């Protein structure tokens, strides 16, 4: 009896403010945090819906809201290269984890994410290379060493990698709020099952399609393509619009390889995609890698791909 009383007295001192405030860089990761954390977590997103993670600037309100956050889950999207130092500085007690930890990152295809930061001319750009030890350590684990700026951050487009992130989020939440460890595990397991089902569903949709190559304006689908043995051909060159010559070469390649579809995402300009699609007699299809409703959106993406890549 006395022992119990002692433990009860200890609990308030150990617990942090509830619900636990957690920031994620993009909406799909926010969803993973929300799914695992449930009612015990207040999951927020840095790149708000409709905004582009390549050029995003956090609002002053978001920066001040970081003061009450226990955790930030980053994923290496370009705005973080310019902003991570200031995000950390806003709350030195906030833990930061990288959603990509343990994932063998692919290099960006003709698409330098770092270019965006420089275009924007942040004064802090000079510090970019010092930012992010997590990044650097992580890259060393990989077989092919790519620099942080060359690493493709769009890991969540592969449901199996999303599953891995979900596990990392569960572990960290359990560490931050051990009193809810059982709930986090239960929530994790329920959503993990949905992700496994999603992966199976996408295999069923995509394993038998005839054409495996697709053109995409912004190459956000590399991990998705790897998982379902598809090949993405980007229009963007090093994160920029290609010139006339590069565009003509791409159109030639597409005609030669009988590519019939150009994917675009809502956060990017569609003019060049339309131009390419017109030239190859193909279709422009909008798929969104940043939707918050992850599973339903990925099912829709799978259906769009399957439809577009069928003869
Ligand atoms: Zn991107």
CA–CA distance, 32 with 74 (Å, rounded to integer): 12
Q: How far is the CA of 158 from the centre of ligand 1 (A)?
A: 14
Q: How far is the CA of 12 from the centre of ligand 1 (A)?
A: 42
**Across residues 50-60, what is the average pLDDT?**
93
Residue-level pLDDT at 7: 53
Q: How far is the CA of 27 from the centre of ligand 1 (A)?
A: 13
CB 72 within 8 Å of CB 96: yes
Q: Is the pLDDT of residue 142 over 80?
A: no
Q: How far is the CA of 201 from the centre of ligand 1 (A)?
A: 25
Q: Is the pLDDT of residue 121 over 60?
A: no
Q: How far is the CA of 8 from the centre of ligand 1 (A)?
A: 48
For all residues of the chain together, what is the average pLDDT? 84
Q: How far is the CA of 288 from the centre of ligand 1 (A)?
A: 11
Percentage with pLDDT > 90 across the chain: 66
Q: Is the pLDDT of residue 282 over 50?
A: yes
Q: How far is the CA of 186 from the centre of ligand 1 (A)?
A: 32
Residue-level pLDDT at 135: 38
Q: Which residues pair with 80 in a beta bridge?
A: none
Q: How far is the CA of 70 from the centre of ligand 1 (A)?
A: 26
**List of residues 6+ apart from 52 with CB closer than 8 A:** 267, 268
Q: How far is the CA of 219 from the centre of ligand 1 (A)?
A: 7
Q: Is the pLDDT of residue 123 over 90?
A: no
- What's the whole-model pTM score? 0.83
**Across residues 28-40, what is the average pLDDT?**
98
Q: How far is the CA of 108 from the centre of ligand 1 (A)?
A: 9
**Across residues 60-86, what is the average pLDDT?**
94
Q: Is the pLDDT of residue 203 over 70?
A: yes
The token pair that represents 27 in the structure block: 């909406």
CA–CA distance, 40 with 29 (Å, rounded to integer): 17
Q: How far is the CA of 181 from the centre of ligand 1 (A)?
A: 33
Q: How far is the CA of 76 from the centre of ligand 1 (A)?
A: 10
CA distances from 139 to 39, 58, 79, 111, 151 (A): 34, 26, 19, 18, 9
CB 108 within 8 Å of CB 150: yes
DSSP conformational letter for 144: S
Regarding predicted confidence, which is higher, 213 or 123? Answer: 213
Cα-trace Rg, the chain: 21
Q: How far is the CA of 218 from the centre of ligand 1 (A)?
A: 7
Segment 188-198, tens digit of pLDDT: 999 999 999 99
Residue-level pLDDT at 110: 56
Torsions phi, psi of 104, nearest 5?
Answer: -75, 105
For the beta sheet containing 261-264, the strands, ordered from the edge strand earlier in sequence to the opposite edge, are 231-234, 213-216, 261-264, 283-286
Helix (H, G, I), strand (E, B) or coil at 131: coil
CA–CA distance, 80 with 98 (Å, rounded to integer): 11
The token pair that represents 177 in the structure block: 């709020």
Least confident of 4-18, 177-191, 269-283: 4-18
Longest dimension (CA), the chain: 80
């Amino acid at each position: 009896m006395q022992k119990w009383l002692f433990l009860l007295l200890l609990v308030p001192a150990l617990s942090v403010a509830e619900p636990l405030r957690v920031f994620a860089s993009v909406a799909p990761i926010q969803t993973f945090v929300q799914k695992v954390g449930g009612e015990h977590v207040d999951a927020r997103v840095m790149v708000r819906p409709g905004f582009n993670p390549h050029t995003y600037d956090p609002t002053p309100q978001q920066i001040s809201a970081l003061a009450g956050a226990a955790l930030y889950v980053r994923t290496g999207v370009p705005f973080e290269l310019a902003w991570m130092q200031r995000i950390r500085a806003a709350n030195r007690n906030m833990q930061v984890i990288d959603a990509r930890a343990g994932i063998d990152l692919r290099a960006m295809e003709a698409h330098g994410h770092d270019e965006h930061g420089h275009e924007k001319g942040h004064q802090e750009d000079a510090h970019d290379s010092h930012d992010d030890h997590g990044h650097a350590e992580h890259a060393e684990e990989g077989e092919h060493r790519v620099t942080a700026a060359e690493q493709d951050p769009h890991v969540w487009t592969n449901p199996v990698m999303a599953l891995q992130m979900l596990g990392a989020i569960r572990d960290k939440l359990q560490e931050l709020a051990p009193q809810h460890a059982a709930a986090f595990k239960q929530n994790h397991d329920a959503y993990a099952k949905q992700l496994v089902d999603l992966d199976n569903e996408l295999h069923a949709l995509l394993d038998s399609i005839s054409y495996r190559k697709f053109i995409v304006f912004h190459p956000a689908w590399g991990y998705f393509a790897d998982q379902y043995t598809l090949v993405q051909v980007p229009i963007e060159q090093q994160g920029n619009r290609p010139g006339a010559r590069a565009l003509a070469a791409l159109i030639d390649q597409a005609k030669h390889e009988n590519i019939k579809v150009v994917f675009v995402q809502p956060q990017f300009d569609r003019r060049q995609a339309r131009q390419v699609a017109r030239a190859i007699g193909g279709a422009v299809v909008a798929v969104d890698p940043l939707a918050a409703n992850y599973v339903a959106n990925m099912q829709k993406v799978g259906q769009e791909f399957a439809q577009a890549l069928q003869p």
